[in-house]
Structure 1
């Protein structure tokens, strides 16, 4: 027998094993909880599908505008950033109104898409800035269009991956 911190003998309480009926009830409760989670995920996916079809192209265009503004003179840079910020805020508001879902709050996140989006925006912003401010102004709209299209495609891929997560195509593997 072991001693506790004071030196007194520590008594061990006997552990009782759960009865088979109790274990079966726990398994049924766990299965019911998993079914409820799958049902709510499917409901969220269905609500997300009510989002406007033009969401992704407009998102890409606003990202392209943001990148375009990086290569413009200071006054136009500020205008581009403000218009992009207002547009992205309005786009999120329209999405919330149509679907009832607030973007970016507690949603499951498909892995692998955010790093690409950040990389595209970061590289494009740097390229646009250097093109616009160091001698290749025609490169600015090219970079902006490429970034906008890439953001549009990544946004669509994000939606597809999120639908796959929400619609439980991976849940079947967890239940086995």
Structure 2
């Protein structure tokens, strides 16, 4: 059985902490990433009051744009971290998804049952802001998971 001395143990812990700090810095999205994702996600709700062709057209555009956004993030950071990974980040991602679905369904329901126009556009703006905030909260949770931030 091999034992390591106190100095080796401390050096190993510092190496782990250093790697975690580097990973947290490397995974930081560019400033435009979360607002762009927010606008794309909000647009999915905002177009719901438009004719069906516009809705499907925007949805196809959004899927392509989100794919390009992921590719840009990967080019910028050199990696991709799943949003639903274990840890604090999972709670941020699940909370964001549940909120998105709740706001989306509520706005579409109100729009279609009351005939009030503009509710989906308003909801889309809310979604855009929430997705932007959720993205930043996800990054903070990721840094906390790595032990880089308290």
The TM-score bracket by the shorter chain reads 0.7 to 0.9
Aligned to 2:32: 54
Shift of 1:46: 1.7
Unaligned runs of 5+ in 1: 1-17, 171-176
* Contact 1:59-1:88 at 8 Å conserved across structures: yes
TM-score, normalising length: structure 1: 0.70
Aligned to 1:13: none
Alpha-carbon RMSD across the aligned residues, in angstroms, is 2.7
Unaligned runs of 5+ in 2: none
Match of 1:145 among 125, 128, 137: 125
TM-score, normalising length: structure 2: 0.80
Match of 1:166 among 133, 141, 146: 146
Is 1:100 paired with 2:74?
A: no
CA distance in 2, matches of 1:105, 1:26: 38
Instruction: For CA contacts below 8 A with separation 6 or more, give which structure has more relative contact order.
Output: 2
SS at match of 1:151: helix
Q: Deviations over 1:129-173 (max 9, x none)?
A: 224433122211111111111111111111122223335346xxx
Pick which of 119-128 and 28-37 moved more: 28-37
* Contact 2:83-2:93 at 8 Å conserved across structures: no
Higher-helix-fraction structure? 2
